[in-house]
Amino acid sequence: MDDKKYVITIGRQFGSGGRELGKLLARKLGIAYYDKELLCEAAKKAGVSPEFFEKSDEKFPKFFNGLFSFTMGYNPYTLYSGSTSISDDSLYRAQSDFIHSVADTHPCVIVGRSADYILRDHPLCVNVFVHAPMDVCIERIMKRGDKTTREQAKALAEKTNKLRAGYYNFYTDKTWGDAKSYHLTIDSSSMTMDDIAEVICDYLRRRIKNVCERGL
């Protein structure tokens, strides 16, 4: 698989372990991993403050104009050369361009950002959605060590999932979390993360073989 520019995208419920799974897959396969650092890198290339990307991270767009500093000079990721006004939609386009650029350059794992939809025409893109029962998500959130109560963890999970769903459903023609939107949907409480990663790796190998046999 080393010579193939394949991509694994991971959508996830908050607290389901999607980021952990993404990092594990990247380590097992020896490929690049992107989650929030993807936003920061795209922001730098676009000349936009990385902090703004953090604030608008997978949140439903508000379509407001703000004042942000842009890097002067030519840059393929610059949205409006010399402009100081930017919209959520423009940020999404810049992020999409960057996702395409990394997918065309090397194999990688991308968590969130509706990457599965952005790369819908990529022949070697495996799209995974990770979910888990709410009680399991709550326990995982509470173990992060910030003294979150069970009630707080549940409220945070529900709020974050709502924001992610709104973001995904707005920018795509699919439904966040719906099995039809992905190649694989996995309950992270059903197996160990290592076993889940092995299942995905096996699917990826078979998918690459199938694509190669068809000459795509």
The CATH number that applies at residue 117 is: 3.40.50.300
Domain membership of residue 155 (yes or no) is yes
Overall pTM > 0.85: no
Q: At what angle do helices 193-213 and 18-29 cross, to 10 degrees?
A: 60
Residue 141 phi/psi, 5° resolution?
Answer: -65, -40
Domain membership of residue 161 (yes or no) is yes
Q: How many domains does the chain have?
A: 1
pLDDT digits (tens, 9 = 90+) for 98-144: 889 889 989 999 999 899 999 999 989 999 999 999 999 999 999 98
Q: What is the pLDDT of residue 62?
A: 56
Domain membership of residue 25 (yes or no) is yes
Answer yes or no: is pLDDT of 72 > 50.
no
Domain membership of residue 20 (yes or no) is yes
Domain membership of residue 2 (yes or no) is no
Domain membership of residue 213 (yes or no) is no
Domain membership of residue 168 (yes or no) is yes
Domain containing 40 equals: 7-207
Q: What is the pLDDT of residue 90?
A: 72
Grade residue 82 by pLDDT with cuts at 50, 70 and 90: very low
Helix H, strand E, coil C: the string for 9-34 is: EEEECCCCCHHHHHHHHHHHHCCEEE
Domain membership of residue 216 (yes or no) is no
Answer yes or no: is pLDDT of 63 > 70.
no
Grade residue 49 by pLDDT with cuts at 50, 70 and 90: low
The SS3 assignment for 203 reads helix
Query: ∠44-57-130 over CA atoms, to 5°?
Result: 120
Q: What is the pLDDT of residue 67?
A: 30
